[in-house]
Structure 1
Amino acid sequence: MSRNARLIYSPDYTQYYFHDDHPFNQRRLLLTHDLMSSYGILKDADILAPRPATDEELALVHDPRYIQFVRDQGHSEHELPQAASYGLGTEDVPCFSNMHEASSLIVGGTLNAVDAVMSGQAKHAFNPAGGLHHAFRGRASGFCIYNDCSVAIAYLRKNWNARVLYIDTDAHHGDGVQWAFYDDPHVLTVSIHETGKYLFPGTGNLSERGDGSGYGYSVNVPLDAFTEDDSFLEVYDELVSNLAAGFKPDVILTQNGCDAHAYDPLTHLSCSMKIYQAIPRLAHRLAHEYCDGRWIAVGGGGYDIWRVVPRAWTLVWSEMSDQPLTDGSLPEAWLKRWQPETDLPLPPRLFDEPFPTIPRRAEITEKNRLTLERAMLHAPTGSEK
């Protein structure tokens, strides 16, 4: 087994917890860890424990006043009137006890992944609890309190002066990361997501290309609703391969939200488990081609915690750790352990049976091709390096 990959994990990640009925449920991490272990592709030696991010590290992106408010609010009995001005105490981001501690642990986990990769301890590292890409400098948003992706990129810029290629394949636009580096030509943010016409956060349009010296370094491909595997991967392969070749990054950071799956309850894309093997496989290859293997992966969205998330992120880890999985029955022990916990029938196999074809498939595919063509118009050439 390759020891070039590390998984950043702790059951303490489940302390990032809003309430029982909230769609963001970190129990998905327990199921994922158990599925990886049940396949025999995860050993204790592969795991690095997370540590809390310091206030100084959080302040690379977040306003110190916001950090202090999150800390104070997580230790108060009542939501303060000004909480909503920070995006807290809302339906999307309810307040909960010790939310600073739980949130900073996730950020610190992603920073541990960065340190492992940039120090040479590992070529690749995966923090499945990360990917909280909606949080802004002074405001929570979209289930996200601190933005571990943005903090990690700022940390990479500060400590290694690295050119960072950020690839976000969550069904929701990676808005918080985009805006944090909107004028920075050393950070290329790429987001392939469902169009914001009917989906939060409503951004990620083709016209969002960056500002000033960063113009062209924000690339968005808003996919049509009901996009299927073949169209998604056609866009992903062409876009990411060309941008990596032009930008020539020092390190790649991928956000691996898995809510583009047809089962996801919050989105309208129609992909299967097929894309969650292809997405990390290409990122892995490009990392070795351009970055001496330096690849950091984080989780993200994914709200069918039983049928989608464990399989998708197990596939990310299998690709990262050079232990590729083929289709077949899921481990019997895993199915027996978790089926009593849910009314949903767990999928019997790693990959999905073919889904019914979407009636507008040809139209959707052509529309996505045109969107990709327009998105590539102002792609960077890499000559700025």
Structure 2
Amino acid sequence: MVSERAELIWYGDDAPWYDHGPEHPLRPARVILTRELIKAYGILDGRRVAETVARDATDEEIGLVHGERFMDATKRAGHGEPGPWGEFGYGPGDNPIFPNMHEAAARVAGASLAAAEAILTRRAEHAFNPAGGLHHAMPERASGFCVYDDPAVAIAWMLAHGAERIAYVDVDVHHGDGVQTIFYREPRVLTISLHQSGRTLFPGTGDIEELGAGDAKGTKVNVPLPPHTGDDAWLRAFEEIVPPLVASWKPTVLVTQLGCDTHHSDPLAMLELTTNAYRRTASLLHDLAHGAAGGRWVATGGGGYQWARVVPRAWTIYFAEMAGVEVPDHIPEAWMEIAEREAGSAVPETLSEPPLPTSGRNEAVNEVVAAVKHTIWPYHGL
């Protein structure tokens, strides 16, 4: 494997953490443990691998996709002011108000902007912000644990700074509804989301018929998969849909949201992938970045609620692929000690996992793939 110029964008120690509280499933520890595992493997020691500390996104940059009223409400709510914050998606449940909410969300968005800057300036070929991937946030409302939609902010920024076309591939178990909504009428942005069907999972959207509007019709692609879809069926759907579309699109930059809540042990969803599928997906995305986007690849994290046992392994697999670094399957013992101390329980000893028995969803997934091709292919001459 040839080493490439890759950057890990670190959230930094000089900003408040994006932290909904100790009872919330989205744990900042998963980002910290991911970085620690990447370091334990020595990936950052590579000659062509670097770590960059994120900056804060400015109001002007966030305003590329979010409204001023929403940003003002986010600032005031996070500073403890009373107000009608439920109007903006804040309150008990998915999006509880937490201190310095705007500042933390601006740092997440700034980290994705740092990744975008690294790619457009050719400082790096590939850049990864594991703290990012908050793909549910809407222009005027928080949603699904997401305050500001950092993938959308990065995409809008790149379009404003010379990128002609963007391909956004979202492999989170939940539909990337915020990114799709923000660019629903934008013909320069191809979005592809593979997710558990919205008929059985939040946010309830992501049907094949959601195609985009106006000149962008046919550029919004959804692959809604049935519960219990496993590695083989999921990978077949990915390979039959994503590479042909992205290759045909010829994007300036490939942007990916790498949620790993598709894992069979994730407590918030019902797909049945193993980390073996992530390794294959990482390789496929890497090939696409070079084959279709001139090597330009911006990646973010995303969902994943097995925060110690799965998320760090999954995202280390992805970043090792981005960096062109082969790592041993056995996880360094020093990291396992850190993770087990943090989690209070044992963590897996290897990046890979035993394959699961087939889940019997092959026929249903084949039907979804056929329907996507029937609906979308004509728009792309495929």
Specify the TM-score bucket, using the shorter chain as the normaliser.
over 0.9
Alignment match, 2:193: 191
Q: Deviations over 1:119-156 (max 9, x none)?
A: 01011100000100000000000000000011111111
For 1:279 and 1:156, the matched residues in 2 are separated by: 24
Contact in 2 for aligned 1:276/1:316 (Cα 8 Å): yes
SS of equivalent residue, structure 2 residue 288: helix
Q: What is the aligned counterpart of 2:368 among 356, 367, 371?
A: 371
Partner of 1:230: 232
Matches within 5 A, 1:72-111: 72-76=76-80, 79-80=82-83, 82-111=84-113
SS at match of 1:23: coil
Counterpart of 1:166?
168
Q: TM-score, normalised on structure 1?
A: 0.94
For 2:16 and 2:345, the matched residues in 1 are separated by: 21
SS at match of 1:160: coil
Q: 1:284 to 1:24 in 2, by over 3 A?
A: same
Deviates more, 1:85-94 or 1:3-12: 3-12
CA distance in 2, matches of 1:321, 1:274: 18
Q: Is residue 259 of structure 2 the alignment partner of residue 257 of structure 1?
A: yes
Alpha-carbon spacing, 1:83–1:104, altered in 2? closer, same or farther (3 Å): same
Q: Quote the residue 1:6 is aligned against.
A: 7
Aligned partners of 1:11, 1:274: CA distance in 2, in Å? Answer: 30
Contact 1:14 1:26 in 2 (8 A): no
Whether the 8 Å CA contact 2:174–2:203 is kept in 1: the answer is yes
Q: 1:295 corresponds to which residue? A: 297
What's 1:68 paired with?
72
Matches of 1:184 and 1:24 in 2, distance apart? Answer: 30
Once the two structures are TM-superposed, the CA of residue 43 in structure 1 deviates from its matched residue by: 3.4
- 1:46 is the counterpart of 2:50: yes
Aligned twin of 1:340: 341
Deviation at 1:324, TM superposition (A): 2.9
SS at match of 2:74: helix
Aligned residues between the structures: 376
Instruction: Give the aligned partner of residue 351 of structure 1.
Output: 352
Of 201-210 and 348-357, more deviation after overlay is shown by: 348-357
**CA contact 2:4–2:322 (8 Å) conserved in 1:** no
| CA deviation vs aligned residue, 1:309-332 (integer Å, no higher than 9, x gap) | 0000000100000013353x2111
In 2, distance between residues paired with 1:139 and 1:380? 34
TM-superposition CA deviations, 1:242-296 (whole Å, max 9, x none): 1012211111000000000001000000000011111221111111112210000
Give the drift of 1:340: 2.6
Q: SS at the partner of 2:275?
A: coil
What is the TM-score when the length of structure 2 is the normalising length? 0.95
Gaps of 5+ in 1: none
CA shift for structure 1 position 42: 1.8
What is the DSSP-based 3-state SS (H/G/I as helix, E as strand, rest coil) of the residue aligned with 1:188?
A: strand
Identity in percent: 43
Q: Deviating runs (4+, > 4 A) in structure 1?
A: 380-383
Seen in structure 2, the aligned counterparts of structure 1 residues 79 and 310 have a Cα distance that, compared at 3 Å, is farther
Partner of 2:332: 331
Map of 1:25-36 to 2, 5 A cutoff?
A: 25-36=27-38
User: 1:73 offset after TM fit, Å?
Assistant: 1.2
Report if the CA contact (8 A) 1:217-1:379 is conserved. Answer: no
Aligned partners of 1:197, 1:172: CA distance in 2, in Å? 11
